[in-house]
Chains A and B, each alone.
Chain A
Amino acid sequence: MKGEKLSVGTNLTLEAEKLANKSRLVALRMVNKSKTSHIGSALSVIDIVSCLYVSNIYSDSKGNDRMRIVFSKGHAATAVYAVLSAADLISEEMIENYCNDGSQTYGHINHLVHESIELSTGSLGHGLPFGVGMALASARLNRTEKIVVVMSDGECNEGTTWESALIASHHDLSNLIVIIDRNNIQSFGMTEEVLRLNPFVEKWNSFGWKTKVMNGNACDEIMSNLNQVSGPTCLIAETTKGKGVSFMENQLAWHYKSPSDEELILASNEITGQNA
């Protein structure tokens, strides 16, 4: 996919869906091999990540500004690395070495893995203010690029989220888009049981943002919303943790567990079956 000229007639949604499914298989493999956590978190956001990359590859081929992406949800590293691999933007070796000794591809997002990654993350609540800073700078430099920050819903517990929401609105950052992976599960319980976020849309609206709810696991909806927005916009992407693998869906355990070899086969079959 790297360098691929996605032409006017290309169905970007279809490209994103293909990329997402291919990436799911890679992410599952990575987590199985390394026996590490966060596959549930990765699978809920992988459609969003795929759409962002397809969008940028298409922009590149048209000579337009690409979106600058801050992956604030750092623990979804496998999602980002898998998409990069599936799009031929990083080597197979980087995937094989995931979480190996001395590897740059470790359990949280490392900006050194690829130039499209703006910030190394892992501690929640850093990406949005960083993105606000990039957007503030961008506006002052009269650039036309958009800054996109991908967050988790649990992450919105962090105070910097709301500090940043105030600042972005106050400074009319029309070049800033936040996409929240609203999978309703955080690391030790359901979001609404741990720390109630709802009414979530109203909260962002009250802070002066344009807020929209979309199906975060449907590439057509994601792509269509990416095209339309002018910020500061918050896209609340309703997703399912573990999306794509029936036995992983909506389970807190899959925030932590890694699939066994048998589970990997079952999961992979489900995904390729969906594609068939």
Chain B
Amino acid sequence: MRNAFVSELLVQARKDERIILLTGDLGYSVLEEFKQALPKQFINLGINEQSSISIAAGMAKQGFKPFYYSIGNFPTFRCLEQIRNDVCFMDLGVCIVALGAGFAYGTSGYSHHLVEDLSALRPISNLRIFSPFDPSDTKEITANICESSRPTYLRLGRGGESKLSNHSPIEKSLNLNQNYSGTILFTGNIGAEAYEARDKLANLGVKVQIASISNLSEISTENLERILKLGPVLTLEEHVLAGGFGSLILEKANELTTNYRIDRVGIMGIISHVAGSQEFLKRNYEINADAIVKKYLNVIK
């Protein structure tokens, strides 16, 4: 997904010299092409996230469209106040790009696990939050972000994510089958687990639809309502449950209707100090396909 982001940003930046890519000393083997192609639209600021967010805001004040690129909790938790006060409250068009959503940097350990960011950022007013589900979605969203100039957070995986092209992104048209038992609603590339769960459930004779939400700030209430009316919904995120994507859906559902059944799959809490591959951690924290199948069967029982 990071390559999809960078290549699209390069396309856009060639057309728009206001776009400037700022990095917190990261991007080895990812950002070289951009840097070489557009050296005037690239700055490695060094390792100083708090200052860098304020710097990005200052550049936006002067008419630039800064993208601040870093990993995990560095461009988020480390500089939350700057995002809140200098970007969002000032309504400046900075895009904060965080790589490593969920356990993408699994073996790097907890410092690099990006699993509480949605909860931390959702309360901040005037921040658009995007969580694309695959490289293609990333490309489209990146182009979209470049076209406007608003405070934005872009949550990306890492590299090598699978293409997910057989589900209903809620921002597009929803093809819901009335005969299906319910819906798995996901955000981000964890959707790959939902695809696998769908297949496993199908083998057990259970048909489930899959939908996704990539724009967490402007949710189509019409489409959400359609999903809720159809049957039980199981939300899925590579993120903690507290205040995350599932919580957001519960909040929205509550506004729309009193008749819904929503269950949530996500990280209950980080209770151990283990690390490992993304696959291992998803299994360990019960957010992989098997866990989804188990939970879903429980819901429709």
Binding site for B on A (CB under 8 A): 111, 118-120, 122-123, 125-126, 128-138, 140-141, 159-160, 163-164, 166-167, 170
Contact = CB atoms under 8 A, between A and B. Distances in A.
Contacts of B281: none
Contacts of B82: 126, 129
Interface in B55-105: 55-64, 81-82, 85-86, 89-90
A133 B89 contact: no
Interface of B: 40, 43, 45-46, 48, 50-64, 81-82, 85-86, 89-90
B58 A164 contact: no
A27 B59 CA distance: 32
B48 A133 contact: no
B94 to A, nearest CB: 10
A227 B59 CA distance: 25
Given A120-B90, A133-B57, A160-B51, 10 more contacts: A111-B90, A130-B58, A132-B55, A133-B55, A136-B43, A141-B63, A159-B50, A163-B51, A167-B45, A170-B46
Contacts of A160: 48, 50-51, 54
B90 A133 contact: no
B135 to A, nearest CB: 31
A27 to B, nearest CB: 24
Nearest to B58: A133
A70 to B, nearest CB: 8
B54 A133 contact: yes
Contacts of B89: 120
12 contacts: A119-B58, A120-B85, A126-B82, A128-B54, A129-B55, A134-B58, A136-B43, A136-B59, A137-B61, A137-B64, A163-B51, A164-B51
Contact of B62 (A120, A129, A134): A134
A126 B43 CA distance: 20
